[in-house]
Amino acid sequence: MKAKIHKILYANKAVIKFVYALILLNIIALVLESYEPIRSAYPLFFKYFELFSVLVFTIEYIARLYVSNIKGKSRSKFAFSFYGLVDFFAIVPFYLPFFLVLDLRVIRILRVFRFIRIFKLARFDKSFKTLSAVYRETKTELLMTVFFALVLLLISSTLMYYAENAVQPEKFKSIGHSFWWAIATLTTVGYGDVYPITTLGKIISSVIAVVGIGFIALPTGIISSAFIEKIKNKEQRTCSHCGKEVL
């Protein structure tokens, strides 16, 4: 029985396509429900569609949890895996109000968690799997860029605090408050709500903006090159090391 359920969940194309379609319909419903005229016109449709979706996803989650130890793996390993957590958080917001007394604002926030269901597509879509593989291969490089970005943000925030605090104490109250300016400048977004007015502050801002152009493009280049390498490896018919044909 366990083997049959496992085959249905992971190999039956009809079931996979049904779950795939239901996930996409949930995302569409979430977007449409945000329009007040549509939400007011079809309240029962959205209510019963959500009930149906939660029922299907709950059965799917329990079934996957049940068969997760079929190959000697522990159920807890699946439960705390990426796919297991996605499946769990895709349904748990619906059940929380039945067990806890929640404020209406909290319930509205929990409804946002319905968007997590889109990550269930990662189980079926090859592009998500490719993205996951690329991340695993470039994780070290990406973490290094994040670390250096944090260091650069800290340095620039500190410099700007000492350059602008005396003339703009309300905007640059502390190094922590200067972080918002540093993030907006380093990413070259430049919202314009906080900006330097001293000569030194303008020089620092200019340098950070120029550095940000290349620095923000660095992780993009890392991911792009990894994607290209992954695609080449899939298309390559011969081994790059020994020259023999790959079967």
* pLDDT score for 236: 61
How many of the other CB atoms lie within 10 Å of CB of 157? 23
- What is the mean predicted confidence (pLDDT) over 97-121? 74
**Rounded Cα–Cα distance for residues 79 and 56 (Å):** 18
* pLDDT score for 195: 87
**Rounded Cα–Cα distance for residues 198 and 186 (Å):** 19
The domains found in the chain, sorted by start residue, are 2-124 (1.20.120.350), 128-235 (1.10.287.70)
* pLDDT score for 21: 92
Query: What's the N-to-C CA distance of the chain in angstroms?
Result: 35
Q: In a 10 Å sphere around its CB, with 0-12 CB exposed, 13-18 middle and 19+ buried, how is residue 204 labelled?
A: buried
Summarize pLDDT for 206-228 with one digit per residue, the tens: 888 888 887 777 887 888 888 77
Let me know: does 219 contact 142? Beta carbons within 8 Å: yes
Let me know: does 126 contact 96? Beta carbons within 8 Å: no
Q: In a 10 Å sphere around its CB, with 0-12 CB exposed, 13-18 middle and 19+ buried, how is residue 90 labelled?
A: buried
- CA geometry: angle 212, 217, 222, nearest 5 deg: 140
Q: Is residue 1 pLDDT above 90, yes or no? A: no
- Reported pTM: 0.65
Question: Of the candidates 21, 234, 223, 6, which has an alpha carbon nearest to the alpha carbon of residue 125?
Answer: 21
